Structure 1
Amino acid sequence: MKDQLTLQLIDTHAGGDVSRIVVGGINPLPGATVRAQMEYLQSEADGLRTLLLEEPYGIPEMSVDLIVPATDPQAQAGYIIMEVMGYPIYSGSNTICTATALLESGIVPKKEGSQRFVLESPAGLVQIEARVVDDVVESITCEGLPSYIDTYRASVHVPLLGDVTYSIAYSGGFYALVDATELGFALTLDEENRLAHCAQAIVEAIREEKGFSHYTLGDVGPLPFLHFMGPVEQIDGHFYRSRSATYVHPGVICRSTTGTGTSARLALMHYEGRLQPGDRLETVSLRETCFIGELMEVEQAGAHDVIKNTITGRSHVLAHSDIVVNCDDPLVDCTGLRQLLTPVEQTN
C-alpha cells in the first residue's frame, strides 16, 4: 500500500512574490471563524505550512494561502496565510494572489469590467475590487489594514553599523521603517543580500531594546519586519513614487514591496504631513515591480492617527498542479498532516 496524500494548488505571484494557493485536498478545519481555523493550524497542524515552504516542495521565499469556506455570510471565500515566519493575519500580496486565483479558477465567478466581492481573512472581512479585461484579471485592489505610527525617528545602536534611525509602523504587523540612503543603499537588485543581512541586524538590535504593543490587539509578538525606504519622487499633485524593499525573515527580502510594507509607508508619510487622503504612493521593488497604495481617510484611535488605505497590484497564475505527498519519502514529515489532507485512492 502506498502511503500518499494529495492536495490541489494554484501557484501565483504578485510583484515577484510567489503565493501557493491551496484550493483542494484539505479536510474541513475546526473553528467558528477563519481566525479560529488559523489558530488551529498554528497550534495543532503546522505541518501543512512547513510541508509547502520547505524542501522538497517549496522554499522559504514563498507563501501559502489556504482557501477555506467563509464563516461570514458577506464573504465569498475565506483564506489563511502561511509564511516562513508563521501566520500573519493579513498580507496585501497574498490577498491579491488569492483573489486572482479564486477568479481565474471560477471559485468566484469572473465578470468583465470592474467587480467587487468580499473575502474573509484572519484579520476580518476584506473588500476586493477586481478589474477584468478580455477575461483576464488585470488588477486587484484590496483594503490594507488600518495603519499608524507607533514610534517616530528613534535610534538604536547596531553592531558594525553604528547608530541607526528608525520609525515603527503597524500595518498588519509591526514594521521598522529605515531610510535606505542613510545606510548607503540605492535599493538595486545587486544589493539584495547585503540588505537582508543589514535588516536582520537592525531588527535584532531593536528586539533586544524594546517591544511594541498594538492599541487594541496588545502584544502581537516581537518585531518581525523592516521596510527600506528610498527617496520619494512626486509624479504629479497627488501621485508619488519611491523605491522600496521589505525584509521578512533572515536571508529573505521580498521580491515585491509588499502590501503591508506599502501601507506602513503611507502611514509614515501621512504622519510627516507629506500625504493626505486621496494621495497615492507607488512603491518600486528591487525587481522593478510595483504596488500602488492610496490613503483613503484618517481616523483618530486613542493617541494615534490611523489611516485607512487600499493596495493595488496584479497577480499572474503560474501553474495548476496536484501535489502528491509521499509519507515514506525521507525528506517529508507527515506528522500532523493525515487529519488535514485527503488520502489518494490506495493502490496495491
Structure 2
Amino acid sequence: MRSIGLVDMQSGGDVSRIITSGVGHLPGGSVLEQMRYIQKHGDGFRRLLLSEPYGDPYMSLDLIVPPDNPRAQAGYIIMEAMGYPLYSGSNTICTATAVLQSGIVPMEEGTQHVVLESPAGLAHVTAENRNGRVQSITTQGEPAYVAARDQVVEVPRFGRVKYDLVWSGAYFVLVDAASVGFEINADEMPELAGFGHALVAAARPQVTQEHPELGHVGPLPFAHFMGPLEEVGTGGYRSRSATYVHPGVICRSPTGTGTSARLALMYDAGEIRDGQWLETISPRGSSFIGSVLGEAQVGGHRAMHSHITGKAWTLARSEIIVDLDDPLVDSTDLEGVLDQPV
C-alpha cells in the first residue's frame, strides 16, 4: 500500500491536482529529464490518477519535484489526459499557489517573486499575498511564436479548415470559431469537443513534433478557438475563447497557454503591441488576462514574451492510498515511481 499526498486546486474552473508527496526519486537532472523518465518508465502513475476511481481525465496533475536550475525554488511536472505538456498557465497558477500556501516555498506577505522550473524551462511568478492567502498569480513562461500561418486541413464531416500553428509551451492549432460555425458558449461545449477531436486527429500528420530548442515534443495536443476581438479602452482587448485538449476535453478555463498562443498570433500580425493586454473568456465565463511584454527569439522564429494573470482556489487537501493488489490498479510501472510502502 502506497500513500500519495495531494492538494486539489482550481483556476478558471480547471482542476489541478498538486502531488506533494508519495513519489520517490526520479532519475535525471533537469525537470525535463525527470519528466521524460516518468513518461517512459512510470506512465501508469499518470493514468492511475486521471482515471476512475482515483480521478478523472478532466483534471491535470502537477508533480512537485526538486528543481535543477539554482534559480528555481521548486520544480513541477505537468500530466494531463493528452500526456505531458511542457508548460501550462493554469497549472502554473495552481502549482505556485499550492507551494506557497502549503509552505513548500515559504510565503511572504505582499508581493513575492518565485521561480519554478517546468519541463519547458523557468516560470517566473509574481504572487500577491495577503493574510496568508495568495490573491493572484502572474506567470511568465517561455516565449511563444507563430510556427506556420494559413494552413489548411481536410477534417472528416467538416470539410476544409484553415488554421495557424503556434508554440506557447505546446503546439496549438488556432481556428477562427465563427468560420466553423461556433459562437463559443457553454451549450456548444459537446459539439466543440467533437470538432476539436476531429480537427486535431486530422492535423497531427502535418504538424511537426520538433521544437527548435527542446527537441521532440510529441504529437499535436491542443486546439484553440478564437472569438471576435472587442477593443477595451486604448490598451486592451477582450475575446471569447476555448481550448481543446486531445482526446475529447474542452477546458473550463480559457487556459494560459491558449491565451499566450492568441497573443503571439496577434503580435506577429501587428494587431497588439508591447504593454497591451488580452482578456480571454472561456465558454463557462471564466477569464485570464494575458499581457505582451516584448519581442523574443526562439531558433529562427520571431517570438513574444508575455505573462498571464489569474487566481487559484483550494478545493481539498487529501491523501490517496494505492493498494497495488487492487484489481483496478495497473501496477506494472508504478512500483518504480511510488515511494516506499506505508
Instruction: Please give the range of the TM-score, normalised by the shorter of the 2 chains.
Output: over 0.9
Residue type matched to 1:90 in 2? Y
Correspondent of 2:254 among 241, 246, 257: 257
Counterpart for residue 153 of structure 1: 150
Which residue of structure 2 aligns with residue 340 of structure 1?
337
Given that residues 68 and 77 in structure 1 are in contact (C-alpha distance below 8 angstroms), is that contact kept between their aligned partners in structure 2? Answer: yes
1:300 Cα offset (Å): 4.3
Alignment of 1:52 with 2:49, yes or no, is yes
Q: Distance in 2 between matches of 1:299 and 1:163?
A: 33
Do structure 1's residue 95 and structure 2's residue 89 form an aligned pair? no
Cα distance in structure 2, aligned partners of 1:285 and 1:127: 24
Which of 74, 99, 117 does residue 114 from structure 2 map onto?
117
* Cα deviation, residue 47, structure 1: 1.5
Q: 330-339 vs 303-312, which deviates more?
A: 330-339
**Alignment-derived partner of residue 314 in structure 2:** 317
The alpha carbon displacement at 1:334 in A equals 1.9
Separation (CA, whole Å) in 2 of partners of 1:24 and 1:302? 37
Amino acid at match of 2:306: N
User: Which of the residues 35, 40, 63 maps onto 1:43?
Assistant: 40
Structure 1 position 104, deviation (Å): 0.9
User: Which residue matches 1:238?
Assistant: 235
1:36 deviation in Å? 1.2
Q: Counterpart in 2 of 1:107?
A: 104
Task: Say which SS state the counterpart of residue 228 (structure 2) adopts.
Answer: strand
Q: Aligned ranges for residues 184-195 of structure 1 at < 5 Å?
A: 184-195=181-192
2:10 aligned with 1:13, yes or no?
Answer: yes
**Structure 1 residue 145: deviation in Å?**
2.1
Within the alignment, does 1:225 sit opposite 2:222 as a pair?
yes
Q: CA 1:331/1:221 → structure 2, altered by over 3 Å: closer, same or farther?
A: same
What SS class does the counterpart of residue 164 from structure 1 fall into? Answer: strand
Aligned residue pairs: how many?
342
TM-score (norm 2): 0.96
How has the CA–CA distance of structure 1 residues 212 and 47 changed in structure 2, closer, same or farther, with 3 Å as cutoff?
Answer: closer
Give the C-alpha shift of residue 301 in structure 1.
4.6
Structure 1 residue corresponding to 2:284, chosen from 282, 287, 291: 287
Calculate the aligned-residue CA RMSD, in Å: 1.5
Letter in 1 for 2:165: I
Report the Cα distance in structure 1 between the residues aligned to 2:207 and 2:21, rounded to whole angstroms.
42
**Alpha-carbon distance in 2 for matches of 1:77, 1:213:** 27
Instruction: Supply the AA of the counterpart residue of 1:266.
Output: L
Deviation at 1:213, TM superposition (A): 4.0
2:122–2:141 CA contact under 8 A, matched in 1 = no
Letter in 2 for 1:249: H
- Which residue does 1:65 correspond to in 2? 62
Quick check: 1:22 aligned with 2:19?
A: yes
- The answer to which of 158-167 and 92-101 deviates more is 158-167
1:164-197 Cα deviation digits (max 9, x unpaired): 1111111111111001111111110010010011
* Aligned residue number for residue 138 of structure 2: 141
SS at match of 2:187: helix
Tell me if the contact between 1:197 and 1:250 (Cα under 8 Å) persists in the aligned partners: no
Aligned equivalents of 1:191 and 1:209: distance in 2?
27
1:205 to 193, 198, 202: 202
2:56 counterpart SS class? coil
From 154, 161, 168, the counterpart of 1:164: 161
Q: Please state whether the residue corresponding to 2:55 is helix, strand or coil.
A: coil
SS in 2 for 1:176: strand
For residue 157 of structure 1, report the CA deviation from its aligned partner: 2.1
Report the 3-state secondary structure (helix = DSSP H, G, I; strand = E; otherwise coil) of the residue aligned with 1:127: strand
Q: 1:217 to 1:31 in 2, by over 3 A?
A: closer
The residue identity in structure 2 corresponding to 1:7 is: I
CA drift at 1:209: 4.1
2:111–2:127 Cα contact (<8 Å) kept: yes
User: Could you tell me which amino acid in structure 2 is paired with residue 180 of structure 1?
Assistant: A
Alpha carbons 1:168, 1:174 under 8 Å: kept: yes
Residue in structure 2 matched with residue 174 of structure 1 by the alignment: 171
Q: CA deviation at 1:212?
A: 5.6
Q: Percent identity?
A: 54
Alpha-carbon contact 1:103-1:110 (below 8 Å) kept = yes
How far does the alpha carbon of each residue in 1:190-224 deviate from its partner, in whole angstroms, 9 at most, with x for none? 10010011111122222244536433334433222
* Structure of greater Rg: 1
Q: Any gaps of 5 or more consecutive residues in structure 2?
A: none
Amino acid at match of 1:171: S
Return 158-167 or 286-295, whichever deviates more: 158-167
Contact persistence 1:231–1:243 (CA under 8 A): yes
Alignment of 1:292-303 (within 5 A): 292-301=289-298, 303=300
SS in 1 for 2:34: helix
Alignment TM-score, normalising by the size of structure 1: 0.94
- Quick one: structure 1 residues 107 and 198, their matched pair in 2 at CA, closer, same or farther if it must change by over 3 Å? same
